[in-house]
Amino acid sequence: MITNKIGIYPGTFDPITNGHVDIIERSVMLFEKVIVAVTNNPKKSPLFTVDERVDMIRTVVQGMKNIEVESFNELLVNYALKRNATAIIRGLRATSDFEYEFQMALVNRKLASNLLTVFLMPNEKYTYLNSTIVKELGRLDGDIADFVPKEIHSRIISKLDKR
């Protein structure tokens, strides 16, 4: 474990998937504290509000040690520095993720050279999984039970049924 180090795992988490949880579980093995930081992406139309997403993630990580969940609405590097983070944690599912994530890591390094970006690969059974797929599958009455934490499954189904 890296001692006295804080990792920030940022994302929209709309909704959180088992792949996200896998990255969180891997992160707490590396950092003394992991902050799951929820934000809005202007390129996406979220199903859940930021507050709903924060609440769902808190439900899922309840009982896990050294995890905080909160929202932010500013430049990630500035937020990470305010929280005294030493690293930004990013999940890489497939090679298609790499180019974008690599560019962002380089920009973040330019903005804050002492802030590392750590790439983690999820378990291979989650490499195809993302929140968009979960929402599309759920909207079409597909079974999403294997893709999302059981603690929030019914909340996701309920929200999809209201749309």
Q: Specify which residues 45 forms β-bridges with.
A: none
Residue 148 lies in a domain: no
Q: Which one of the listed residues 26, 53, 90, 93 is annotated catalytic?
A: 93
Residue 145 lies in a domain: no
Is 131 one of the catalytic residues? yes
Residue 65 lies in a domain: yes
Residue 150 lies in a domain: no
Expressed as residue numbers, the domain containing 6 is: 2-128
Is 20 one of the catalytic residues? yes
Is 44 one of the catalytic residues? yes
Split at pLDDT 50, 70, 90, the class of 41 is confident
Q: What is the pLDDT of residues 86-136, one digit of tens each?
A: 999 999 987 777 888 999 999 999 999 999 999 999 999 988 889 999 999
Q: Which one of the listed residues 20, 26, 33, 135 is annotated catalytic?
A: 20
The CATH code of the domain that includes 77 is 3.40.50.620
Q: Which residues contact 158 (CB under 8 A, 6 or more apart)?
A: none
Q: Which one of the listed residues 44, 82, 125, 150 is annotated catalytic?
A: 44
Residue 151 lies in a domain: no
Q: In the chain, how many domains are there?
A: 1
